[in-house]
Chains A and B, each alone.
Chain A
Amino acid sequence: MSAEVDFDVIVIGAGVAGMVCAHQLASAGHEVVLIERGQEPGTKNLSGGVFYCRVLEAVFPGFVERAPVERRITRNVLSFLNGTSHVNVDYWDSRLAEPVNAVTVLRAKLDPWMAAECEQAGAVVMPGVRVDALLREGDQVVGVRAGGDELRAHVVVAADGVNSFIAQEAGVRAKEPIKHLAVGVKSVIALPRTTIEDRFRVSGDEGVAYAIVGDCTQSIAGGGFLYTNLDSVSLGVVLRLDDLEAKGLSSADVHDHFLAHPAIEPLIRGGELLEYGCHMTIEDGPAMVAHDLTRPGLVIIGDAAGFTLNTGLTIRGMDLAAGTGMAAATAIGSALKAGDYSDNGLSGYRAELDRTFVGADLRTYAKAPAFLENPRMYSDYGQLLADVFHGIYAHDLTPRKHLVTTAMAAVKASRLKLGQLMLDGWAAARAL
């Protein structure tokens, strides 16, 4: 290997994964450049908004107090939404505030702060530059070409997000099957702080996160979300691409249908649209992560490698991104020390992931994506639940029946078979 390098490590992409990785490497005394195509870190980044942030405490001590985060999530609502009804599981627990478990974030506000932390740690942040290609010597990645310039390093980290052109160019990722991907379409709606507190029954800096399934997506596989920020609400839909194609609907129309839904519209009534955006996300993280994560001189982290988990109840990407950034920094640190940037020299990355919550959780939820392909999740079950409760609460002067009889009658009246219901219940218990 030629010793002529501009930096020890080049990190492509100032998202959570890239910034955590750059920060850890710079903190350990390595020369790091963080290249970002946006004019400022954060300008290209969009997330639904819930960050399970405990992992960041090890990277940015005092993260929740120091970083520009929105609200601390202490209330989680799982909502089965139908055209004119919904059944919600509403879980509030003050224990979720101490220690802080999850926060809502707006990435255009959070990411510049993280980039400043990276600079403080000694990383060079280079915004407004798009990486066009990898530089190679034989099999070895030795740097990047960006805006007509060439930059060389011992290791290049691809943290360029879900579309990762770098991972594709390196031959690690092929064109992704569309059932592995989904598009999130999101609006941020301004509401006065007091309105948010009253409407969502939260106080101070506490907040609520809704995960919604059913009519929010007009039965397209995926779901809806609604998260409270300090003085705005983030809400929208996530639509699995294969089902979006099959159902023949328009993604913008589905988003609009959700915001106008009689169960949702009152929550944002009187608000003002601040921003409309979209971003792709990964529906089958475990399948994507099964491919290689390194090439000689190249490490792939975060969304670029496919590290996301949708368990139906929790939707995680940013915490896993941070975990991969930390694991990669540890492995690259060892590779730099040994002067070995081969696949073997970088193999510590996979080992490090397997040692931490990232690898463990991807294994635990390996079957969740297959379970969530079940179309009954997006149409039948919400209606069935509402029918059961309707049987309980609608007193039409017929003699009352016991709960089990009422529930069985609702199943019988639906398209669902009892056997199927039990199998789905069993599958859910095992996959989620």
Chain B
Amino acid sequence: MTRLPSVTERLARNTYHLDEEENHIEVNQDIARRTGTGRLLVRICPAQVYGEAPDGTISVNYAACLECGTCNAMAAPGALIWHYPRGGFGIAYREG
């Protein structure tokens, strides 16, 4: 391994069944900002699903989600609604 590809490039090699109709992650921007959960999510998500815009808004790229639940475990109460994608959608590990 001379150099690891970026997280985005890595995820592009994974298999996903994208649910175009339903986003399974929702951030409450006010609470996320007030509690610091927003920045925490950006940092702790291994798939880098969360991003912070210059105005502090937290973006969610739910298509990249690896469904580990770390964000849900660490978010301040009310800052995040997170559940599994609908049956059959989301990450499909080939190795696991």
Please report which residues of chain A, range 267-324, place their CB below 8 angstroms from some CB of chain B when the two chains form the complex. Answer: 268-271, 273-280
Interface residues as binary, B76-96 with A (CB distance below 8 Å gives 1, 0 otherwise):
000000011111101111111
Among B48, B68, B86, B93, the one with the most A-chain Cβ atoms within 10 Å of its Cβ is B93
Chain B residues touching A, majority SS: loop
Of A55-63, A88-96, A247-255, A354-362, which binds chain B? A247-255
Please report which residues of chain A, range 340-386, place their CB below 8 angstroms from some CB of chain B when the two chains form the complex. Answer: none
Q: Which residue from chain A places its CB closest to the CB of B67 in the assembled complex?
A: A44
In the complex, A187 Cα to B68 Cα: how many Å?
15
In the complex, A265 Cα to B4 Cα: how many Å?
11
Contact partner of B44 (CB less than 8 A), chosen from A47, A127, A244, is: A244
Asked whether B1 lies within 8 Å of A146 as measured between CB atoms, the reply is no
Contact partner of B73 (CB less than 8 A), chosen from A107, A129, A176, A265, is: A176
Q: Which residues of A contact B43 (CB under 8 A)?
A: 248-251
Q: A183 on the interface (CB 8 Å rule)?
A: yes
Interface residues as binary, B17-59 with A (CB distance below 8 Å gives 1, 0 otherwise):
1000000000000000000000010011111100000000000
Contact partner of B96 (CB less than 8 A), chosen from A45, A165, A185, A245, is: A45
Q: Which residues of A contact B11 (CB under 8 A)?
A: 276
In the complex, A128 Cα to B92 Cα: how many Å?
11
Q: Which residues of B contact A37 (CB under 8 A)?
A: 84-85, 87-88
Q: Which residues of A contact B66 (CB under 8 A)?
A: 277-279
Q: Which residues of A contact B86 (CB under 8 A)?
A: 130, 147
Asked whether B83 lies within 8 Å of A165 as measured between CB atoms, the reply is yes
Given the known interface contacts A43-B92, A256-B4, the answer about A183 and B44 at a Cβ–Cβ threshold of 8 Å is yes
* Interface size of A in residues (CB-CB distance below 8 Å): 61
Q: Which residue from chain A places its CB closest to the CB of B92 in the assembled complex?
A: A43
Q: Which residues of A contact B87 (CB under 8 A)?
A: 37, 128-130, 146-147
- Tell me the minimal C-beta distance from B87 to chain A in angstroms: 4
Please report which residues of chain A, range 32-48, place their CB below 8 angstroms from some CB of chain B when the two chains form the complex. Answer: 37-40, 42-47
Q: Which residue from chain A places its CB closest to the CB of B7 in the assembled complex?
A: A252
27 contacts between A and B (CB under 8 A): A39-B17, A39-B88, A39-B92, A40-B92, A43-B91, A44-B67, A44-B91, A46-B93, A108-B93, A129-B87, A163-B69, A163-B84, A165-B84, A175-B73, A178-B74, A183-B44, A185-B46, A241-B73, A244-B44, A250-B43, A252-B46, A259-B1, A273-B1, A273-B4, A277-B93, A278-B47, A278-B66
Interface residues of chain B, those whose CB is within 8 Å of chain A, are: 1-2, 4-5, 7, 10-11, 13-14, 17, 40, 43-48, 66-70, 72-74, 83-88, 90-96
10 further A-B pairs in the complex, CB-CB below 8 A; given A40-B92, A107-B96, A234-B95? A43-B92, A108-B95, A128-B87, A130-B84, A183-B68, A241-B73, A251-B44, A251-B46, A275-B94, A276-B7
**Which 9 A-B pairs rank lowest in CB-CB distance, beginning with the nearest?**
A107-B96, A108-B96, A128-B88, A130-B87, A278-B46, A163-B69, A276-B10, A43-B92, A275-B95
